[in-house]
Amino acid sequence: MSLHQTCKYMGVDFLDFLRSGEKDIHAFAESRRRRKRRTQPGQRTALLVEVSFDGAAQPQSPHGG
């Protein structure tokens, strides 16, 4: 299997992996997963909007509140 195919299978951007200088694709993929879980300062979060039957939009917290 090629390196590109492995990246694609693991959901890792091929060029990001090459630019990282990392030798272990599994370690790189895991570090990316850990980084994505944390919200970075200044990072935008999703805004969920619930629309009631009367058409009024109700903003909701992405955390269910």
Tens digits of residue pLDDT in 28-58: 999 888 877 665 556 665 656 565 666 555 5
Q: Tell me how far CA of residue 31 lies from CA of 9, 24, 40, 64, in angstroms.
A: 16, 11, 15, 27
The whole-angstrom separation of Cα 28 and Cα 16 is 9
The whole-angstrom separation of Cα 22 and Cα 31 is 11
Helix (H, G, I), strand (E, B) or coil at 29: helix
Tens digits of residue pLDDT in 1-22: 688 999 999 899 999 999 999 9
- The dihedral over CA atoms of 16, 21, 25, 28, expressed in degrees to the nearest 10, equals -70
Q: Which pLDDT score, from 0 to 100, does residue 16 have?
A: 93
* Run of H or E residues at 48: strand 48-51
Q: Kindly report the pTM of this predicted structure.
A: 0.50
